[in-house]
Amino acid sequence: MTIKSSIFGSVHPNQTMKELETINLDKLPNPKGTFILGHYPNFKSNDKHVFLEKSVEECGDLYSINLVGQKFVVSAIPELNNEILKSRPKLFKRLPKINAVLQEMGISGVFNAEGDLWKKHRKLTAESLSLKKVKGYFPIVLEKSKSLLHKFEQFSKSQKSIDIQREFMLFTIDVTTAIAFGYELDAIHGKDAVFQKHLERIFMMLNERNFSPIPIWKIYKRTKDKELESSLKHIESTIYKFITQAKENLKNDPKLKEQPTNFLEALLIENNDGAFSDKEVYGNIFTMLLGGEDSTSSSLSWILYYLAQHPEMIKKVREEAHSIYCDHLTPKSFEEYQQLEYTNAVVQETLRIHPTTTQQIVQANEDCEIQGLKIKKNKKLILLNRFAQRLDEHFTDAMTFKPERWLKSKCPMHQNHDVSTIKAFGGGPRLCPGMNLALSEMVTLTSMICKQFDIELAVKKEEVSEKHSFIVYPENLYIKLSKIN
């Protein structure tokens, strides 16, 4: 199979399985770097994902980088990456450093667990975030969406430029804290800025420590390290109070066992045999906060970025909303949300071009062979999952925003449409358990916004850039909303 084009122009051909059998991972080509630091300066930057993707043009779709002495294999081969993801957690695991950093922060949940412990966490969290449970949480999504739309109405009256990434982050914090453990934060209207501030500090420091070559905080505690400890204590004490309260609620109201009102209650119900400690329950609540805030808010921001450039698509989303929930502000039920096919197509197309996670880093648990490629134990690999999603080989006219490609009636068999390359929510057994919840937020809110407002960019589209923190999000994205009659 040959890569015909990419966002950077022509690239080296994909390796066939036979070719992979002959490759020595210790002798791969690598991009230009410095003598001592290697490629660390590039990897430390806010656009490390762009450096990794552009290096495919220079080195081919399988190359290596050096981060201050640590060597990583970088793969842009979707078939190889798929097989590696399917082989988790048996043959591959997350980079141990990620787990070490989270454990230092007192967090042990499904995100950083491995092996049998991951299976134990996964079973519990998957059931607590099942489609049935997400349907039960849907009223919270509707309530928070209405709250944000009320704020947007005020913005539209003043024609104020909106930092949309910021506003969507406040929305997702409200949704996630309410669904995770029943906390009515109201960050949208700035009611509990303290909790929100602590969360943001933790996420910022988590990203910094994950990519720091030297754990300076273990040697010397800087001001920001002390502030992190304070933030962790605040979040932990708050969540533990809710754990105690949730146990009391379940004891006093047996009906909650049939229909829990939040993720914490669902976790405690599924944990009826007491297999999980409160610390592990806390870890999974924190994991939900980690996964539910940045990623969903960034995806929503990219959705509006594209819609603002396509008024005809806004009109289609609006017409669909009117046809399904008529004069109502929101879908009247979860079933009506599920009927928003065109809006869902807009979301899927955004996730294809702008997934918030562009790559995954894994490490081999043992010597193994994947697609003929021999991989030694402890070998570290960076899987460039976004790369294939943006190639014409896998999606016809790949860098053109076309929601119609996701509609069955608009997806001719002769066109390229390789959904196996899509890794917006990960892949294999470790597919993100929060996918159904995230989609319900994105599709519902997008439909509601387009029904009420016209959308335009308040900056030139060329002025909007990608920034890589824990996830990839848009920087300098400002929009204006105009209430329609």
Residue 83 three-state SS: helix
Q: Is the pLDDT of residue 13 over 50?
A: no
CA 172 to chain centre: 12
**Any bridge partners for residue 62, and if so which?**
75
Q: Domain extents for the chain?
A: 1-95+358-386
Joined tokens for residue 467:
């920034």
| pLDDT, tens only, 212-254 | 878 999 999 999 999 999 999 999 999 999 999 999 999 999 8
| pLDDT, tens only, 327-380 | 999 999 999 999 999 999 999 999 999 999 999 999 999 999 999 999 999 999
- Output the CA–CA distances (angstroms, integers) from residue 261 to 125, 264, 427, 443, in the order listed: 15, 9, 29, 21
Q: Is the pLDDT of residue 294 over 50?
A: yes
Q: Is the pLDDT of residue 7 over 90?
A: no
| pLDDT, tens only, 435-448 | 999 999 999 999 99
The runs of H, that is alpha helices, within 72-130 are: 78-86, 96-104, 115-128
Catalogue the long-range contacts made by 323-328 (C-beta closer than 8 Å, 24 or more residues apart): none
- Output the CA–CA distances (angstroms, integers) from residue 162 to 155, 296, 338, 365, 377, in the order listed: 8, 18, 29, 46, 49
3-state helix, strand, coil in the chain (%, to 5): 55, 10, 30
Which residue in 81, 111, 109, 82 sits closest to 94, CA to CA?
111
More confident residue, 208 or 331: 331
Which residue in 180, 170, 187, 442 sits closest to 288, CA to CA?
180
Backbone angles phi, psi at 131, to 5 degrees: -60, -35
**Any bridge partners for residue 453, and if so which?**
483
pTM for this prediction? 0.92
**Any bridge partners for residue 75, and if so which?**
62, 383
CA 417 to chain centre: 22
